[in-house]
Structure 1
Amino acid sequence: MKFEVKQNELINAINIANRAVSKNTNIQIHELIYFEAKEDRLSLTAFDGEITIKTFIEARVMEEGEMALKANLFTNIIRKLPNDIVKIESKDGKISIRSQNSNFNLLAFEYFEKQDLELPDTSPLEISNDKLKRSILQTEFATSLDETKLALTGILFELKDASLNMVALDGYRVALKKNSMDYQSEYENSEFIIPKRSLMEWSRIIADDSITKIYKNENDLVFQAENTTMYCRVIDKNYIDYRNIINKTSETSVIVDKAKLVSALDRAQVLSDPGRANLIRIEIAENHMIIKSNSEIGDVKEVIEIDQEGPDLNIAFNARYMQEGVRAFDSDKIKLNFKSSLNPCLIDPVDSKYEDEEFTYLVLPVRLAN
């Protein structure tokens, strides 16, 4: 194998492939990047047992072929080369890497578990990357860290009523993002639980101004955008019926400036006690929201002006759960809906910036002793 490629384009492709390289593993093939030079392009593939990523760039190929290299070593070499043409040749079990006055010679790996990475012969589901990235960021934080509840460690993709619903919940809060979109009828009433890590890696790879195509393939979902493809296994478990959790009825509603509430929660959390579930108390009265927090070393009180409808209310929350949910909204003002001090708080945007998107967040209160 013999080819030439631009250093900056090669390092960008390596950075993408490295998303599927294991950092701590005893399985050698999970530490490698597999290269294939064919016709006028170079493809890079890596997999770590959970996800597989394949990306390609243009190259001047003199001799077609394949090779595998340890990812961290190859990355360090290419990163330190000048921004110029890199010439790579594989011959007799050795690989030479040359650029200007630099010349490296490495031993090639003879074994790599080559996979069939063809796109499925099905109609893809298409979504703009900026919308997908927003939806991932608005849900991923609410997934569970408890591996015994495997379904809740992923994000639910639910296709229903011309909408893609993305749902995350961990037993204490629910993040729901609805995206209106067109898709083939074969996808209607389909649902998949996708591991959080797979979606986070994909969101770091894709560019905002492009499209992601999602293909269904037996036990896998395939994500494809521009020159990069990712294969990930879905979580084969049943998801909780989140619709029964979200109740729109309320007794007390308040409209509040999102930025002011985030800042107040940030300051209140400084003195919240981790041993008491990062507890904050919220009092709603006379068009003001009073946020209180205390610990052994002191206390804090924040007062925010609000538009209040309904009776006064005292309620308590885990500060982090409330803060993460509020921060996820892209609107300037949000509406908090309360039924009682023992029922969940349901939060909606007042002035969403995106007409075909809806984001809803639900957080359970902390029960207080009298």
Structure 2
Amino acid sequence: MKFRVDRDVLADAVAWAARSLPVRPSSPVLAGLLIDASADGLVLSTFDYETSARATLGAEVSDEGQVLVSGRLLSDICRSLPAKPVEMVLDGARVSLTCGSARFSLQTMPVHEYPALPQMPEASGTVPSDLFAHAVAQAVTAAGRDDMLPVLTGVRVEIEGSSIALLATDRFRLSQRELEWAPRSTDDSLAALVPAKVLGDTAKSLTAGAEVTIALSAGGSGEGLIGFEGTGPGGVRRTTTRLLDGEFPKVRSLFPSEKLTTARVDKAALIESVKRVSLVAERNTAVQLAFSDGVLTLDAGSGDEAQASESVEAVIEGDDITTGFNPQFLLDGLTVIDEDVVELAFTQPSKPVVLSGYREGGESDGGFRYLLMPRRLLS
């Protein structure tokens, strides 16, 4: 195997393929990155039996062949190379990498022990890449991170015709993001539970091209794959991941059907106030929010400890209300809302608040909603 390739194109493709490599692989070869050189160029692949990544790129291939090397090491090396063409040559059990005056010799791994990558399911439709990345970033905000509750570490993807809904929850909060896409068939009704970390990383990494192809196998959670394909510098990027097994909780009913109190607040001002007031909040204690007479008053701290209070102007409709929330969870929701004004909708102090963006003219953006459970206030 021998090829010559642009340094930036190679570095980008290697970094993209290596990003999903396991930290503690069950087998040494699963830490490898497979390089397949042919007349069509290069294909770089990684796979850990859960998530696969495949990047294609153009290269001047003198001798075809395959080689398996440490993915993270190759990524580190490529990132540090000078801005000159890279040449790689397989010589026995080692690979020689040359870039300008820099030379590296890498040990190879047995290619025959590397598992075959799964095939992409049939394409289900396409979505603008920037829209998809932004929608996923909003949805994963509420995804769980506790591996003891694996179902809650996923994002439920629901496809109904030309609409996609993304739902995530960690039991204390809930996010819902809806967006339009171009389905293969408007009759499709599909659902999948996708690992939130993989979904977030993948969506963010596929914004170089205009659109992302989503490929979802029929069958539902635990019985198939979901695949994503887009373009990157030099070629196509493709990734697949196994769907999570288990029943995602029926969370849509948690969004209340009525609003007894609503408050509209400048988002930037509220974010800064929450950050300041929460500096004195003890760990696992709430920041109090009191809505009354056109003012939102934030309080934290109690007793002999440090205390803080700050007021923010608000447009309040309905009864006065006082409640409290985990400040970090509140900030997480506020920072992913696009609009400059945020609406907080309540039914009663002991019930969740629903956060959404608010636009001039009284039109709320129904694309993203963030529900947050209240926390008990210290007396």
Query: Residue 278 in 1 paired to residue 279 in 2?
Result: no
Instruction: Return the match for 2:352 from 332, 344, 356.
Output: 344
- What is aligned with 1:163? 163
Query: Residue 70 in 1 paired to residue 36 in 2?
Result: no
* CA-to-aligned-CA distance 1:213-239 (integer Å, 9 cap, x gap): 011235111111021110101112111
- What is aligned with 1:302? 310
Shift of 1:273: 1.0
Instruction: Return the match for 2:278 from 269, 289, 292.
Output: 269
Query: Residue 115 in 1 paired to residue 116 in 2?
Result: yes
Partner of 2:97, secondary structure, is strand
Partner of 1:3, secondary structure, is strand
Cα distance in 2, alignment partners of residues 105 and 341 from structure 1: 64
Shift of 1:107: 3.2
Partner of 1:176, secondary structure, is strand
State whether residues 93 and 110 of structure 1, in contact with CA within 8 Å, keep that contact through their aligned partners in structure 2.
Answer: no
- What is aligned with 1:314? 322
Shift of 1:186: 7.0
Instruction: Return the match for 1:327 from 327, 335, 359.
Output: 335
Q: Which moved more, 1:140-149 or 1:126-135?
A: 140-149
Cα distance in 1, alignment partners of residues 378 and 300 from structure 2: 16
TM-score after normalising by structure 2:
0.90
- What is aligned with 1:219? 224
Q: Which AA in structure 2 matches 1:253?
A: T
- What is aligned with 1:360? 369
Q: Which AA in structure 2 matches 1:294?
A: G
Partner of 1:237, secondary structure, is coil
Partner of 2:268, secondary structure, is helix
Shift of 1:179: 0.6
Shift of 1:182: 3.5
Shift of 1:180: 2.5
Partner of 1:330, secondary structure, is coil
Pair 79,335 (structure 1): closer, same or farther in 2 beyond 3 Å: closer
Cα distance in 2, alignment partners of residues 279 and 76 from structure 1: 43
Question: Pairwise mapping of residues 1-370 of structure 1 onto structure 2 (< 5 A)?
Answer: 1-25=1-25, 27-111=27-111, 112-120=113-121, 122-160=122-160, 162-185=162-185, 188-207=188-207, 209-217=209-217, 219-226=224-231, 227-274=236-283, 277-295=284-302, 297-351=305-359, 358-368=367-377
* CA-to-aligned-CA distance 1:251-273 (integer Å, 9 cap, x gap): 11111111111111111211111
Q: Which moved more, 1:198-207 or 1:184-193?
A: 184-193
Partner of 1:249, secondary structure, is coil
State whether residues 248 and 346 of structure 1, in contact with CA within 8 Å, keep that contact through their aligned partners in structure 2.
Answer: no
Cα distance in 1, alignment partners of residues 153 and 7 from structure 2: 38
Shift of 1:357: 6.5
State whether residues 126 and 211 of structure 1, in contact with CA within 8 Å, keep that contact through their aligned partners in structure 2.
Answer: yes
TM-score after normalising by structure 1:
0.92
Cα distance in 2, alignment partners of residues 334 and 356 from structure 1: 10
Partner of 2:307, secondary structure, is strand
Q: CA RMSD in A?
A: 2.2
Shift of 1:177: 0.4
User: Which ranges in structure 1 are unaligned for 5 or more consecutive residues?
Assistant: none
Q: Which AA in structure 2 matches 1:83?
A: A
Partner of 2:110, secondary structure, is coil
Partner of 1:20, secondary structure, is coil
Cα distance in 2, alignment partners of residues 336 and 79 from structure 1: 45
State whether residues 125 and 184 of structure 2, in contact with CA within 8 Å, keep that contact through their aligned partners in structure 1.
Answer: yes
- What is aligned with 2:220? none
Shift of 1:40: 3.2
Partner of 1:343, secondary structure, is coil
Pair 175,97 (structure 1): closer, same or farther in 2 beyond 3 Å: same
User: Which ranges in structure 2 are unaligned for 5 or more consecutive residues?
Assistant: 218-222
Pair 243,357 (structure 1): closer, same or farther in 2 beyond 3 Å: closer
| Paired positions, count | 366
Shift of 1:369: 7.0
Shift of 1:339: 0.9
Could you tell me the percent identity over the aligned residues?
21
Pair 297,240 (structure 1): closer, same or farther in 2 beyond 3 Å: same
Q: Which AA in structure 2 matches 1:104?
A: F
